[in-house]
Amino acid sequence: MSTSDVLLEPDPLSRAAVAKVVARIGADRAAVPNAIPVRDPHDDSVIGYVPDLGTAEALDAVSRADAAGRDWAATTPRHRADVLRRWYDLLIDNADDIALLITLEMGKTLADARAEVTYGADFVRWYAEETTRHTGTVREAPMGGARLLTRRVPVGLAVLITPWNFPLAMATRKIAPALAAGCAAVTKPATLTPLTTLFAVQLAVAAGVPGDLLQTVTTSNAGAFSNAVLADPRVRKVSFTGSTGVGKVLLRLAADNVLKSSMELGGNAPFIVFDDADLERAVEGAFNAKMRNGGQSCIAANRFLVQDGIADAFVEGLTERLTSLRMGSGLASGVGLGPMVDHNAVDRLHGLVDDAVGRGAKLLTHGRTHEGPGSYFGATVVDHVPADAEVATTEIFGPIAAVQRFSTQEEAVTRANDTEFGLAGYVFTESLDRAFHVADSLGTGIVGINQGVPSNAAAPFGGVKESGLGREGSAEGLEEYQEIRFYNLALRSTS
């Protein structure tokens, strides 16, 4: 069986279960007069509606969150920890429904959606624990006569803008540390995938997050939203995950009010396989790093750089793995590759393959595009890709494995770093010396060493160069929502 076989159809029981969740969050048609339709990328059918809110409503959300934020900032860390822990428990209790919703509005397989729920909920649990570990410092003034004290305080009202590819995890990775730090927040989910965020926020309120503290604004006009809310002086923080182009626009807006800014932007991850790598481990790692979410991940392996001695065997193994995937609705059992998020994505991916082949790359397998409704693009492998092909210089964001070959370590590192991006990189080798040497030489914020899925709630996730500013997850992720206050306590001798 291959990705070119008949599409697998969704299980009708799963569809019925999602309809119940959509009704539970009030996103069924009747409940929303001025509405943005949310579609299932499997067949383009409408699964729910969310309100298309304007700038007046966005500023009203800012006002409500700002007012609620004052009380929240005064709560104890223990209180915030207890609320977050209850939210975690509710996310886990509702994991099946959340996963169904993610699959239906975004397209990823149910297995990937379940993994996202585990990953996304983990940020909430981690920050429930971390908020009680707030620390300050006490230092001696070098010349004597004073103690220098620091404490961490909430930065203030945060605007959180998230993409469609991980609709739960990208939201919880921001909301959990914001609430843990004592901040109020206004979230704006992606227009393609607002339902998961709305459901997660509903569960947060059920867990004890004050209703006004955490606002969600759904809108079809993201530019008008950011222009209005980032100009409001009550907003003190913007955290964005999405494309580098939009990140630059938001940084310019943030400059006007000097907002504390976190930017999790695009990537172009090199995945380097040396001759001395364990082949099976490298193929498995490559498969995971490429195909999680159908390739629609910011840390997805974008450029496979493979040393000459292992290249043929690696390409053969990866191609075999990719052609064994069955394509269809993420709700169907046995499916390994769901639809892309929309038709624009499919057109873009075809353009990348045509460009690479036009420049001399060798097309090894190309899953067909499904005729009719649904935005499908099959797993594809292109070998001998020239370094200047678009598939090597831009973010693919889809199931295309693009392979380049190299002969020396130096060449691999030089080519890996020849990009304006610096989010993630991967190195596969059985030599510990080589692993660390290459990892230290890569210009990326994250390196997977013999590991295709490096993300972890306890680790600082983020990029360098045009891949972003700041970190999410871990203690560093909490600091993104805090300011440091410094007190100088004068001490004079009493003797």
Q: How far is the CB of 455 from ligand NAD (least distance, A)?
A: 9
Stretch that binds ligand NAD, among 62-70, 263-271, 325-333, 408-416 (CB under 6 A): 263-271
Helix (H) or strand (E) holding 171: helix 169-181
| 222/220 Cα distance (integer angstroms) | 6
**Interacting residue with ligand NAD among 99, 190, 254, 340 (CB under 6 A):** 190
Interface with ligand NAD includes 81 (CB under 6 A)?
Answer: no
- Catalytic residue set: 264
Strand pairing class (146-154; 137-140): antiparallel
Stretch that binds ligand NAD, among 3-11, 50-58, 124-132, 222-230 (CB under 6 A): 222-230
**Interacting residue with ligand NAD among 184, 185, 200, 246 (CB under 6 A):** 246
**Interacting residue with ligand NAD among 120, 266, 285, 339 (CB under 6 A):** 266
The CA distances from residue 101 to 24, 340, 404, 435, in Å, are 12, 16, 37, 39
Handedness of CA 328, 329, 333, 336 (dihedral sign): positive
Angle at 464 between CA 459 and CA 467, to 5 degrees: 95
Q: Which is nearer to ligand NAD, 77 or 454 (CB)?
A: 454
Interface with ligand NAD includes 218 (CB under 6 A)?
Answer: no
**Interacting residue with ligand NAD among 84, 186, 298, 438 (CB under 6 A):** 298
Q: How far is the CB of 89 from ligand NAD (least distance, A)?
A: 26
Stretch that binds ligand NAD, among 4-12, 91-99, 161-169, 301-309 (CB under 6 A): 161-169
Place of tokens 């979410």: 293
Asked if residue 195 lies in contact with residue 105, where contact means CB atoms within 8 angstroms, the answer is yes
Q: Which is nearer to ligand NAD, 127 or 164 (CB)?
A: 164
| 137/152 Cα distance (integer angstroms) | 10
Asked if residue 268 lies in contact with residue 421, where contact means CB atoms within 8 angstroms, the answer is yes
Site string for ligand NAD, 162-181 (x = CB under 6 A): xxxx----x-----------
| 241/257 Cα distance (integer angstroms) | 20
| 211/233 Cα distance (integer angstroms) | 22
**Interacting residue with ligand NAD among 41, 468, 470, 477 (CB under 6 A):** 468
Stretch that binds ligand NAD, among 25-33, 223-231, 269-277, 325-333 (CB under 6 A): 223-231
Burial of 401 (0-12, 13-18, 19+ CB in 10 A): buried
Q: How far is the CB of 309 from ligand NAD (least distance, A)?
A: 32
* Residues within the interface to ligand NAD (CB under 6 A): 161-165, 170, 188, 190-191, 222-223, 225-226, 241-243, 246, 249-250, 264-267, 298, 395, 423, 463, 468
